[in-house]
Amino acid sequence: MPLKDNVKTIEPGYIGEEIKFIKRYFDMHGKIRTKKYILNFLNSLQKAIIEKRIRKVSNYAKQIVYIQDNLIRVYNSMKETIEVNIKKERLEEFRMILDSEKVYFPISYIRKYISLQGKEITREKAKYLLDTIDEAITRREIPVNDPYMNRIRLLRNNLIKFLGHKVKLDPLPIQRATLSGWNDALNKHSQDSISVELSGGVEGNVLPDGIMNSMDFAKLNFKTLGFDGKWLEFIGDPAQNFSVMIFGKPKLGKSHLALDFAGYLARNFGLTLYVANEEKLNRTLQEKVDSVKHPNLIVSGKLPDDLSPYANVFLDSVTYLGLKPDDLKVLRERYPDKSFIFIFQATKQGSFRGENSFQHDVDIVIEVPEKGRAVQMGRYNQGGEMNIFDADIKY
């Protein structure tokens, strides 16, 4: 199908069905996707075809057929996860299509957000919208000086809070204005940013300069992830985007503890990456992973360039990766909605290898002072202890 020479101007906020699916497929390039994600993508595409929202006469029917056939092929041959790599020529073809269909992205994302209000939506829908917005910001489809950037940041923060709950999700709250007056609704949303949150959130009157009356501050309802079992007892109940430092001498159980924790996060709190730079992807690591394996737990021998697909990231170890305090700070600033768990080697004296500033920059510090014993010093549950190898302690 020949591509158009001229850029097509699209009504603000409107994106054709074919373009939505082409963009979704294009955005998968270089990302790790689960089998469930591929199936949901395929189901959405086939539903659009059956409902004739995409027709044979579509300008991009050929590309849609290609995407459908490829999704079926990938789904039938993949295991639990796959890193998507689109052929260079096909990637360029899709890029040209997307460039030719000029869309004002901020409005389309805001409208999508508004369309979800009052509905009981899945985490996947909320996460897909959040990931799409993050990718658009990374590619500068939404420039920092865009007039709608403040509203994009607001709805992005609300989506992050919404995804931070382990329990069944409540419907998104409905703004006072109707969709027909969506610009007014967005203005209302901006004005009501303190009280209107996807997850119910903060109450009280925050002064413009950030100063708050102590009575109001005492009433604040800070949302936590909802840890349970041994991890609640050991660590407490942290907020989303928490950070952890684990250190100890070799062969005492640091990696065993970290993988145990990674398995718990993967089962309950989203896609989790474990970077095993110290042990690499070998038989020893395989044996440790076997007891905690899960489709949401991804292992890698190196630190990927893009961490956006993951909710939780383990670096084992910071020592072997050669990262400095500033490197970790940059990582956390680049991905403010991620939880990071940093593992350090300790010296012969038992202190960790690295600068003291590491210890002050995290929420939770876990020391493994002797074989099989972990001691936690953090802001959520000061003084918690755990027997790392105790098989009787369940998740």
- Shared-domain flag, residues 144 and 262: no
**170 occurs within a structural domain:** no
Last residue of a domain, one of 147, 163, 179: 163
Query: Domain tally for the chain?
Result: 2
List the domain range (segments joined by +) for residue 38: 8-163
What does the block give as tokens for 341? 């768990």
pLDDT tens across 358-380, in order?
777 788 999 999 999 999 987 77
Same domain? 26 vs 135: yes
Confirm whether 178 is domain-assigned: no
Task: Find the distance separating the first CA and the last CA of the chain, reported in whole Å.
Answer: 54
* Long-range contacts from 55-58, C-beta under 8 angstroms, 24+ separation: 58/18
- Residue 141 within any structural domain of the chain: yes
Average model confidence (pLDDT) across the chain? 76
Dump pLDDT digits (tens) for 12-61. 444 578 888 998 999 899 999 999 989 989 888 888 888 788 887 788 88
Q: pLDDT tens-digit profile of 61-80?
A: 899 999 999 999 999 899 89
262 has pLDDT over 50: yes
**Helices 149-163 and 123-138 sit at what angle, rounded to 10 degrees?**
140
CATH number of the domain enclosing 249: 3.40.50.300
CB atoms within 10 A of CB 350: 13
Domain boundary among 142, 163, 184: 163
Q: What tokens were used for 152?
A: 């994009």
Core vs surface per residue 107-143: b (16+ CB within 10 A) or e: bbbbbbbbebbeeebeeeebbbbbebbbbbbeeebbe
- Provide mean pLDDT across the span 297-302: 90
Q: What is the pLDDT of residue 126?
A: 83
CB 179 within 8 A of CB 115: yes
In a domain, 202, yes or no: no
| 179 within a domain of the structure (yes/no) | no
Question: Do residues 258 and 155 share a domain?
Answer: no
Residue 351: predicted pLDDT: 57
Same domain, 268 and 379: yes
Tokens of 158: 């609300």
Q: What 3-state class would DSSP assign to 376?
A: strand
Do 119 and 247 lie in one domain? The reply is no
The last residue of one of the domains, among 163, 179, 208, is: 163
In-domain check, residue 217: no
Average pLDDT over every residue of 279-295? 80
